[in-house]
Amino acid sequence: MSLVFHQVGVFAQRPLEGNALAVVCGADQLSTAQMAALARWTNLSETTFLLQPTDPAADYRVRIFTPQRELPFAGHPTLGSCHVWLREGGRPQGVEVIQECGAGLVPIRAAGEELAFAAPPLLRGGPVEPEVLARIARGIGLASERIQASQWADNGPGWVAVLLESREELLAIQPDYAVLEEMSVGLIAPWKGPEAEAQFEVRAFMGRQLGEDPVTGSLNASLAQWLIPAGLAPERYLASQGTALGRRGRVRVARIDGRIWVGGAVQDCIRGTLEL
């Protein structure tokens, strides 16, 4: 079979700067095993498959695979999949695009050249257990008292969120995945000074197999759902991510009418035909 295939860069202002995503269009005829095999083969952090929706309120359905497993929701696959769906002629039923995925229906808005998704509800919030926080401190090589605040902020991948004092401290971290084990740990710190290009720097450690993610929509969504209501971040801000990996991701966050919106630009990099 021949299927349209895209590879895009998400949360990037120019090609090759953001987080890469593979998108397969019209994938209804593929089996779950074929989707999982293709995701292992592309070896990107995520590969997505565009399908006909099963919910009449949705414009399209997407399945999201890492090389190891299927995810109910992820941020950069949501924006990248929507971008490709629109590029291939998709037209929403209403003002917003409605994506159907394992986490339910996700609204997506266009804002100029950028797209933004409404953050899905957290599956888990609340304080981080002392023993978990102590393990995170060991795994990132910092004394526990250097952690300014922390919170469970899981919207699917299992995020534990940690606030540090400075961007310099955050960028210097060399994670020890043997200590962190398979925890998904998201770290954020303010970017201060006249040279600041954003309000915050973010890093995402996703365990030994996946390592550090370049730019992470789900983490930025869950961080905002914690930090903005807690008064630790403004209602609108720009986050930088990927610096430690040589990327230049930019994530725009805003709370509008009580909902957290997470957005950025998507760059076309590859379009072709997938032969299976």
Residues with catalytic annotation?
A: 46
The answer to whether 7 touches 273, Cβ cutoff 8 Å, is: no
CB burial of residue 102 (10 Å; 0-12, 13-18, 19+): middle
Single out the residue of 207, 189, 205 nearest to residue 245, CA to CA: 205
Minimal CA–CA distance to 5: which of 268, 216, 194, 192?
Answer: 268
Q: Which string of b and e fits 226-244 if b means at least 16 CB within 10 Å?
A: bbbeeebbeeebbbbbbbe
Name residue 23's beta-bridge partners: 6, 48
Q: How many CB atoms lie within 10 A of CB 184?
A: 22
